[in-house]
Amino acid sequence: MAYINNIRMFVRVYELGSMSAAARDQRTSPAVASSRIAELERHLGVRLFNRTTRALQPTEQGRVFYEGANRILTAIEEAEADVMQMAQALKGTLFVAAPLGVGRRFIAPAVPAFKARYPEIDVRLRLSDRGIDIPAEGLDLAFHLGPLVDSDLKMRMIAECRRVLCAAPDYIARRGQPTSGADLKDHDCLNLRFPGAIEFQWTLETELGPRRFEVTGPFESDDGDVLTSWALEGCGIVMKPVFEVAEHLGSGALVPVAIQTPPVSTQLACLSPSRRLRDPKVQAFAEFMVARCKAELDAAEAQLPR
C-alpha cells in the first residue's frame, strides 16, 4: 500500500508541477510528499524530477514512468469502484453444496438470514454426503467435512471437529460396553456407505498414535442422519462429529463408547475454485456461513454433559 501511495503522490506532483500543491491535494505535508518521491526514486534507481529553486521538471524516465503509473492508478480506481458498487447491491445466483449433517444444521437454517441481508442473491443449495467434483459441477462454494487433500481449490479452514463413538444405553445393556477400538470387532457398527467402498475402517487415537480398525455391521446408509436414527433405536455403534449428536449426548439418549481410543478429529472447511472466490457474493456468503458455523459448533459443545 505504501508503494501505491508513493505512485499516487508522484502522479499528482507530475500533473500539478509542484511538490507543495501535490501535498495539499493528498492532504499531507510537503516534507512527506518529498520523502515519498525520494523513496520511489530509490526503489526505481532513477531520478524522476529535475529540481531547481524555481521549477520542478520531470526527467525522461519520469515521463515514461508517468504513463505506466497513470494506467496502474486508473485500473486500481476502476477495480475499487466495481467492487464498491457490487458490495452495495450484490446480486446473482450462488451454487453451494454441503454434507447432509452440516447443511441441515448450519447452512440451510442460515440461508433465510443471508437472503434477508442480501435480497438480490439467490442460493441453490445441494446437500449430499457423496463426494462432489466442485469445478466439474459448477459450484461456487462447497462445505467439506473430512480429511483435506491437496487440490487447486482455495480452502478456508473453519474448525477442527471432534468425533465420538456412541450408542444407545439399551444397546450397551444388551451387547456390553466396548472400551477400545479392538473391541469393535464384536459389535454392530453403523457405517456410512460411499460409492466404491469395499470395507469400512475407523481411524482411532491409540497410545501408539492413530490406527485404523476394521468394523462391520448389518446396517449402512449414504445418509449420516439415518445412521444417527438407527443408533438411537439401539441398532449399533455410530461414529459421528460431536456437533451432530451433541443434543443426544446431552440428554443421555446416546452415550460415548470405547473412550480409551476416541476417533481422530476431522476438519470442517469451505472450498471454492480460485476464480469463483474473487466474486464478492461468494466472499459474502463464505464470511456469513463461516461465522454461523463457528457459533453453532460452540453451541453444540455447550450441550455436552460436564
- pTM tops 0.85, yes or no: no
At 273 the three-state DSSP class reads coil
* pLDDT for residue 70: 84
> Can you give the pLDDT at residue 78?
67
In this structure, the answer to whether residues 173 and 237 fall within a common structural domain is yes
* Distance of alpha carbon 152 from alpha carbon 119, whole angstroms: 31
> Is there a single domain that holds both residue 218 and residue 74?
no
Where does a domain end: 24, 57, 86? 86
Same domain, 275 and 153: yes
CATH, residue 210: 3.40.190.10
What pLDDT does 22 receive? 84
Q: Given 234, 249, 264, which residue is the final one in a domain?
A: 264
Residues 78 and 121 in one domain: no
260 and 294 assigned to the same domain = no
Q: Do residue 230 and residue 293 come from a single domain?
A: no
The residue range of the domain holding 224 is 163-264
Report which DSSP code applies to 275. Answer: H
Q: Does 6 share its domain with 55?
A: yes
pLDDT of residue 143: 93
b/e for 93-108, b at 16 or more Cβ within 10 A? Answer: ebbbbbbbbbbebbbe
Indicate if 16 and 82 belong to the same structural domain.
Answer: yes
Q: Same domain for 172 and 222? A: yes
pLDDT score at 296: 86
Same domain, 154 and 247: no
Q: Cell triple for residue 189?
A: 457398527
What's the number of domains the chain is made of?
3
Residues 276 and 153 in one domain: yes
- Backbone angles phi and psi of 162, in degrees to 5: -65, 145
pLDDT of residue 55: 73
Asked which of 59, 86, 113 is the last residue of a domain, the reply is: 86
pLDDT score, position 306: 65
**Do 211 and 250 sit in the same domain of this protein?**
yes
- Tens digit of pLDDT at every position of the chain (306 positions): 688 888 888 888 888 888 888 887 777 888 988 899 899 889 989 999 988 767 788 999 989 999 888 888 878 766 765 665 555 667 888 989 998 889 998 999 999 999 999 998 999 999 987 777 787 677 889 998 887 765 677 888 898 899 999 999 999 999 999 999 999 999 999 998 765 555 588 889 998 889 999 998 989 888 888 999 999 999 999 999 999 999 999 999 999 998 899 999 988 999 887 766 667 888 889 999 999 999 888 888 777 776
C-beta separation of 63 from 50 below 8 A: no
